[in-house]
């Protein structure tokens, strides 16, 4: 992007020379772009290339952990600094895959073990680049551990953050404690899945991502306690310490730099320049790691702040105008609060909606209403929660009593409101909806035209309301007439997710953690609370564990399995568990699902409707797939879903292609083989963790 910008500036320079007139903004812009280009090249040569030279090396590695290790059932995950490979010193950030599925390692621990160094995998490289982590290390032998052998101030801050989370768990009830931990430290690991999904759907996810909102609330608390002059002197070092405790996320770094600029303008009695402070914060973050500009969190944070700087004040003036002459009182204060909250929400949403459509799968329609109802509670909840933590330093029972009887109630309100709004059918829509993409772009354009005095406020409000109603109506019509099937891999067999009036899942034996993450993402995108039906086609789910984790994490109405010996406790499963033994049919989300028996306890699933047909043969051996093929005389198959085992049998694959004539073949690839783009002029598509969506008319 920098290179393309520099080329464009070069072309512009030619025009400047020809016209013999240089605009005042041109030379600084050109100098900045060229400096950025040089720095990116320098960063590549000084930091990225040395990391590349370590890729592929095997032997004894020594790493220092910078955060707590996490358990992932079958393996452990940690982040650290690679200090040594086979006795050769180095210093690179790494992502560490441990053999222990429940590791007990803390920041500062030094691990030494046989391992292999690799570049980050293609699927997760973007996420790692944002953190400045280019390498992974996989443990291949037993480790030796030196506890707390490399402690630094930043690592002590991470340990303090962990201790803070544990103390919050002692002071608050479970749900409110998990919410306060997420609000204060950004750690959402203990947040219930249903509440986390409801926050995303209702547009309240930003309160659990530590950002400028949290820094401003904490700064406001200090200013109220100590006054503006002394409060700013206290809050500046406190803000830096707080940023270190939460791990220096881009949104907090941006807020701290803005706070420094605003404090400087106060002490030096200069006019506050928010745009310069905003640009300086962006410059600091991208200078430290140019790849951070790929981060969705950074882009959303800076876009929201830019919206607040440019549009919040004029929108607030427009909304305050009708009741400006009202006498001061309770109702006047309430109306002013409502107008200010709506102005801030509209300004932020206008700039972040296009990015939400680009990065995420959902656009919260009820975001303004949600923020209107909970923003007051966010500030109050943070302040009372910090008070409970302060009291617990004197006495844990005293802090626990304050947290249980007083501080929990704003948090309870936030959880109830977001949970209630999150269950609305149209609280959020799929961001792939072109109507909302057009709506977001039009609103942003309209606001900029209005800011530039090219459009009146009344025309803008009327146009926005009309466009919003049209977009919601078009989205409702799309959901009523268009169905969707999502196919995704999980490291094992694939899963088939059906979206209609309800959500159903055909589980062929996928792995637990990955299927839960993918299903939750799609439930959020489709604005669904849980799954209506899970249909299992073999007993593989019992060895892979996916069904148990789904039942523990999501609301499921019924489960249908090919075996009778499955049992769920009252705490981790639905009451409606059914089983089947023979071939049969049922209807899921408007599609007829035919169960074709390949062997005792093993079935293939054939989905058919007016405009959709799909056959799943994954998990079957060649002889079993051939038996299923004999039951499909005259059947039309648009899409065929197979795995590596069936792709390795050319005779069977040829018979499937000749008999069924599918339009496309999807392959659940275990990651060990690569395939061409087509077979007998039939396109081949390899499934990955993100999956493939198939839309059809109901």
Whether residue 182 sits in one domain with residue 119: no
The dihedral built from the CA positions of residue 421, 424, 428 and 430, taken in this order, carries a sign that is positive
First vs last Cα of the chain: how many Å apart?
42
d(CA 18, CA 21): 8
Whether residue 43 sits in one domain with residue 60: no
Average pLDDT over residues 512-536: 75
The reply to whether 322 falls in a domain is no
504 has a pLDDT exceeding 80: yes
The reply to whether 333 falls in a domain is no
Per the CB < 8 A criterion, the answer to whether 105 and 132 are in contact is no
Reported as a pLDDT band with limits 50, 70 and 90, residue 73 is low
Whether residue 182 sits in one domain with residue 66: no
The reply to whether 534 falls in a domain is yes
Whether residue 72 sits in one domain with residue 47: no
Among the three residues 134, 151, 168, which one is the final residue of a domain in this structure? 151
The reply to whether 459 falls in a domain is yes
Reported as a pLDDT band with limits 50, 70 and 90, residue 248 is confident
Reported as a pLDDT band with limits 50, 70 and 90, residue 308 is confident
Reported as a pLDDT band with limits 50, 70 and 90, residue 197 is confident
Whether residue 516 sits in one domain with residue 562: yes
Strands (E) in 300-367, as ranges, are 362-364
Whether residue 468 sits in one domain with residue 413: no
Containing 358, the helix (H) or strand (E) segment is: helix 330-359
Whichever domain contains 61, its CATH number is 2.40.50
Among the three residues 430, 455, 471, which one is the final residue of a domain in this structure? 430
CA torsion 507-509-513-515 (nearest 10°) is -30
The reply to whether 329 falls in a domain is no
d(CA 521, CA 361): 8
412 has a pLDDT exceeding 90: yes
Average pLDDT over residues 165-188: 89
Query: What percentage of the chain reaches a pLDDT higher than 90?
Result: 9
Q: What is the pTM of this model?
A: 0.76
Whether residue 107 sits in one domain with residue 85: yes
Average model confidence (pLDDT) for the chain? 80
Number of domains in the chain: 5
Among the three residues 151, 180, 209, which one is the final residue of a domain in this structure? 151
Whether residue 45 sits in one domain with residue 109: no
Whichever domain contains 628, its CATH number is 3.60.15.10
Side-chain-side CA neighbours of 544 within 13 Å: the count stands at 25
Kindly calculate the radius of gyration of the chain based on its CA atoms and give it in whole angstroms.
28
Reported as a pLDDT band with limits 50, 70 and 90, residue 18 is low
Domain assignment of residue 452, given as a range: 440-480
Tell me what pLDDT residue 102 has: 82
**Pick from 12-26, 388-402, 525-539: least confident:** 12-26
Beta partners for residue 89, in sequence order:
84
DSSP of 487-553, one letter per residue? EE--SSS-EEEEESSSEEEEESS-BHHHHHHHHHHHHHHTT-SSEEEEEE-STHHHHHBHHHHHHHH
The reply to whether 367 falls in a domain is no
DSSP of 408-465, one letter per residue? HHHHHHHHHHHHHHHTSTTSEEETT-HHHHHHHHHHHHHHHHHHTTSS-HHHHHHHHH
Whether residue 674 sits in one domain with residue 619: yes
The reply to whether 346 falls in a domain is no
The reply to whether 95 falls in a domain is yes
508 has a pLDDT exceeding 80: no
Whether residue 584 sits in one domain with residue 457: no
| Cα angle: 92, vertex 96, 97; to 5 degrees | 155
d(CA 403, CA 134): 42
DSSP of 191-233, one letter per residue? S-HHHHHHHHHHT-GGGGS--HHHHHHHHHHHHHHH-HHHHHH
Whether residue 454 sits in one domain with residue 494: no
Tell me what pLDDT residue 413 has: 94
Strands (E) in 600-691, as ranges, are 602-608, 613-616, 639-643, 664-668, 678-679, 682-687
567 has a pLDDT exceeding 60: no
Average pLDDT over residues 11-32: 69
Per the CB < 8 A criterion, the answer to whether 487 and 692 are in contact is yes
Whether residue 170 sits in one domain with residue 85: no
């Amino acid at each position: 992007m920098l290179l393309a910008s520099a080329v464009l500036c070069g072309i512009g320079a030619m025009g400047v020379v020809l016209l013999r007139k240089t605009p005042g903004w041109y030379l600084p812009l050109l100098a900045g772009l060229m400096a950025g280009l040089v720095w990116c090249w320098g960063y590549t040569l000084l930091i990225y290339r040395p990391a590349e030279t370590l890729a592929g090396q095997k032997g004894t590695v020594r790493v220092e952990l910078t955060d707590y290790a996490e358990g992932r059932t079958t393996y452990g995950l940690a982040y650290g600094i690679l200090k040594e490979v086979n006795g050769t010193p180095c210093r690179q950030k790494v992502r560490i895959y441990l053999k222990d599925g429940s590791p007990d390692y803390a920041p500062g621990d030094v691990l030494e073990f046989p391992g292999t160094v690799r570049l980050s995998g293609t699927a997760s490289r973007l996420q790692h680049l944002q953190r400045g982590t280019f390498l992974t290390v996989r443990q291949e032998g037993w480790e030796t551990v030196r506890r707390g052998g490399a402690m630094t101030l930043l690592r002590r801050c991470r340990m303090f953050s962990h201790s803070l989370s544990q103390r919050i768990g002692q002071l608050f009830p479970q749900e409110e404690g998990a919410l306060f931990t997420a609000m204060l430290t950004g750690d959402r690991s203990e947040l219930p899945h249903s509440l986390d999904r409801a926050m995303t759907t209702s547009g309240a996810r930003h309160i659990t991502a530590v950002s400028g909102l949290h820094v401003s609330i904490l700064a406001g608390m200090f200013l109220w306690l100590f006054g503006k002059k002394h409060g700013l002197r206290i809050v500046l070092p406190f803000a830096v310490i707080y940023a270190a405790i939460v791990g220096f996320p881009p949104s907090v770094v941006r807020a701290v730099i803005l706070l420094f600029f605003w404090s400087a303008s106060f002490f030096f009695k200069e006019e506050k320049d928010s745009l310069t402070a905003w640009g300086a914060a962006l410059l600091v973050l991208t200078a430290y790691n140019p790849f951070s500009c790929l981060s969705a969190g950074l882009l959303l944070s800076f876009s929201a702040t830019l919206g607040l700087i440019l549009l919040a004040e004029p929108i607030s003036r427009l909304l305050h105008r009708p009741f400006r002459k009202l006498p001061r009182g309770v109702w006047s204060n309430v109306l002013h609060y409502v107008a200010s909250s709506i102005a801030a929400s509209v300004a932020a949403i206008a700039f972040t909606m296009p990015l939400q459509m680009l990065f995420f799968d959902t656009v919260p329609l009820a975001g303004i209403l949600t923020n209107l109802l909970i923003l007051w509670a966010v500030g109050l909840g943070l302040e009372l929660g910090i008070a409970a933590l302060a009291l617990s330093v004197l006495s844990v029972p005293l802090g626990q009593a304050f947290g249980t009887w007083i501080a929990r109630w704003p948090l309870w309100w936030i959880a109830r409101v977001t949970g209630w709004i999150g269950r609305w059918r149209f609280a959020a829509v799929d961001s792939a909806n072109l109507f909302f993409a057009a709506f977001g772009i039009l609103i942003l354009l309209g606001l900029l035209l209005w800011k530039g005095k090219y459009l009146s406020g009344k025309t803008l409000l009327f146009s926005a309301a009309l466009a919003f109603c049209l977009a919601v109506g078009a989205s409702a019509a799309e959901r009523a007439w268009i169905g969707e099937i999502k196919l995704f891999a999980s490291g094992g067999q694939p899963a088939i997710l059906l979206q209609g009036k309800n959500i159903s899942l055909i589980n062929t034996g996928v792995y637990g953690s990955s299927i839960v993450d993918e299903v939750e993402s799609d439930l959020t995108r489709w604005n669904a609370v849980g799954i209506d039906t899970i249909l299992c086609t073999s007993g593989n789910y019992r060895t892979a564990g996916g069904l148990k984790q789904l039942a523990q994490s999501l609301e499921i109405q019924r489960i249908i399995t090919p075996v009778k010996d499955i049992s769920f406790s009252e705490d981790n499963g639905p009451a409606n568990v059914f089983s089947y033994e023979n071939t049969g049919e049922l209807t899921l989300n408007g599609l007829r699902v035919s169960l074709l028996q390949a062997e005792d306890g093993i079935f293939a699933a054939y989905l058919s409707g007016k405009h959709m047909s799909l056959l799943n043969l994954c998990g079957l051996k060649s002889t079993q797939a051939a038996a299923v093929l004999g039951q499909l005389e005259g059947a039309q198959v648009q899409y065929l879903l197979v795995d590596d085992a069936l792709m390795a049998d050319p005779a069977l694959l040829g018979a499937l292609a000749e008999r069924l004539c599918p339009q496309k073949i999807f392959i659940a690839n275990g990651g060990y083989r690569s395939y061409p783009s087509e077979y007998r002029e039939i396109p081949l598509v390899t499934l990955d963790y993100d999956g493939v969506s198939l839309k059809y008319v109901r």
